[in-house]
Amino acid sequence: MAATKEYALVCLENPLLDIQAVGDKALLDKYGLKDNDAILAEEKHIPIYEDLLSNYDAKLIAGGAAQNTARGAQYILPPNSVVYFGGVGDDKYAATLRDAVKQVGLRVEYRVDPKIPTGRCGVVITGHNRSLVTDLGAANHYDLEHLKRDDIWKLVQGAEYFYVGGYHFTVCPQAIQTLGEEAAAANKAFIVNVSAPFIAEFFKDPLDASSKYWDYVICNETEAASYAKSHALPYAETDVAAIAKHLANLPKENSKRARVAVITQGTEPTIVAQQGSDDVKQFPVHAIAKEQINDTNGAGDAFAGGFVAGLVQGKSLEESVDMGQWLARLSIQELGPSYPFPKQTY
């Protein structure tokens, strides 16, 4: 394995504990949830967490989309390659998260808010779908002050890759902009995952403000469709190749790197477009038998983890995508956004 710089990869987003259970249509209906979605909890959703724990035998599993990606990248990379920032409380859930990241050796630098509980995400599994309802809690209080703290900023300056989960656009867009500016100024790689359809729709402004910094943008087909719709793009919402090309060719601050747009499509091939190129590439997924799938919670995060690990290792775009497919395949065989132990190697 190629030598990797210490903490070459910095990740930022919302640390959450997943409260995950197999549910049914009645449960989805009770809380007005779609079978495959990710939303922020409103007042009416708050009882779902107790409901899942008391009535659906829910399991507590480390979550938070970019934290899953960070764990995935560290799962592949040599020790001390990845550090993750986000906000938690000072409670049992935060302790559970710290234990879970230790298993893969991920370093976390949390902003701890003693007055606010750690965020949680209700995960309702129905078949191969998952519905996510997030109560951000302390994750919602991440701030620029933490990012600019001397010890944290040193980690930023030492890193060569920044990965931001799109869910953070709901929390601290200034921290995202600051990382983007730093990346562009120092010719480092800035990677953004759109993360959920509602980000492209309701957080369009902060998302768009950051787009000039994107060296890599990752999304899935429903996020691509949502982006196309909210930006009134002149293509069919299902024309992922055209949307990928559009994303790749948005204006860009750092002209030293051609932007890459990656769109995953579940079991369908992953689409990759590169700024300035007419050629849109397709990469097949690592298919597995349906019976081997445990659940798809975190599949996209795992893809991003493998992909980014490939970039950090200096692998080609093709191989990095393949590493993403490989890690996603491993993760969907586990309970929740988890990775197998003993460790497997790519």
Asked if 322 touches ligand 26A (CB under 6 A), the answer is: no
Separation CA 157–CA 8 (nearest Å): 10
- The residue assigned the tokens 């919670």 is 297
Asked if 88 touches ligand 26A (CB under 6 A), the answer is: no
Count Cβ neighbours within 10 Å for each residue of 213-252 and write b for 16 or more, e otherwise: bbbbbbbbbbbbbbbbebbebeeeeebbbbbbbbbbbeeb
Only segment of 24-32, 59-67, 186-194, 282-290 that touches ligand 26A (CB under 6 A): 59-67
- Decide whether 21 or 132 has the Cβ nearer to ligand 26A: 132
Asked if 335 touches ligand 26A (CB under 6 A), the answer is: no
Only segment of 12-20, 52-60, 77-85, 317-325 that touches ligand 26A (CB under 6 A): 12-20
Q: How many CB atoms lie within 10 A of CB 57?
A: 9
Point out the residues that are catalytic: 301
- Decide whether 134 or 222 has the Cβ nearer to ligand 26A: 134
Only segment of 28-36, 63-71, 277-285, 318-326 that touches ligand 26A (CB under 6 A): 63-71
DSSP state of 168: G
- Decide whether 179 or 242 has the Cβ nearer to ligand 26A: 179
8 A C-beta contact, residue 343 and residue 75: yes
Numbers of helices and strands, H then E, in the chain: 13, 14
List the interface residues with ligand 26A, window 194-253 (CB under 6 A): none
List the interface residues with ligand 26A, window 18-57 (CB under 6 A): 18, 38, 40
**Of positions 4, 275, 297, 331, contacts ligand 26A by CB under 6 A:** 297
Asked if 118 touches ligand 26A (CB under 6 A), the answer is: no
Question: Beta 59-63 vs 82-89: how paired, if at all?
Answer: unpaired
Separation CA 302–CA 335 (nearest Å): 13
Minimum CB distance to ligand 26A, residue 16 (Å): 4
Asked if 112 touches ligand 26A (CB under 6 A), the answer is: no
Asked if 16 touches ligand 26A (CB under 6 A), the answer is: yes
Separation CA 164–CA 13 (nearest Å): 6
Only segment of 8-16, 141-149, 176-184, 206-214 that touches ligand 26A (CB under 6 A): 8-16
Would you say how long the chain is, in residues?
Answer: 346
Which runs of consecutive H residues, i.e. helices, occur in the chain? 25-30, 48-55, 65-76, 92-104, 144-148, 150-158, 173-185, 197-202, 204-210, 221-230, 240-248, 299-312, 317-331
Binding residues for ligand 26A (CB under 6 A): 13-14, 16, 18, 38, 40, 63-65, 68, 121, 132, 134, 136, 167, 170, 297-298, 300-301, 337
